[in-house]
Amino acid sequence: MQVFTDAQWARFEAAIAAARLRKARPRKEDRRMIEAIAWRLDNGAKWRSIPAELGDWHHAYLRFRCWAVTGVWAKIMAHAGAEPKLAFASVDGTGARAHQKVAGARPSKPTH
């Protein structure tokens, strides 16, 4: 399963190289990992729903989280010449809270 065309990936790969990411160990399978992240963001699915052809969902999540915290995504997008778009926005529903009545609480009895 391919999420990016070869031309899109070549541009993205050049942006990764230009960002000069330095880590202790070399990264493996960048394309599959980044395609898994893009697939998840595009579909709005849970991390566990990433297709097996795109690799392990947990490793994709860890890479996404690490790069988000350290600002790597901003560096890559700056080198790609792309402005952040709404498609890259992601809201994790585990942190969103709803009002107790929306969550199914019983209505309180009116006091007279």
Q: What pLDDT, in 10s, does the model give residues 46-90?
A: 999 999 998 899 999 998 998 888 888 888 887 776 555 545 555
- The phi, psi pair for 89, rounded to 5°, reads -75, 145
Domain ranges of the chain: 6-88
- The phi, psi pair for 38, rounded to 5°, reads -65, -40
What pLDDT is recorded for position 86?
45
Q: Could you tell me the two tokens for 14?
A: 């050049």
Mean pLDDT in the chain?
76
What pLDDT is recorded for position 69?
87
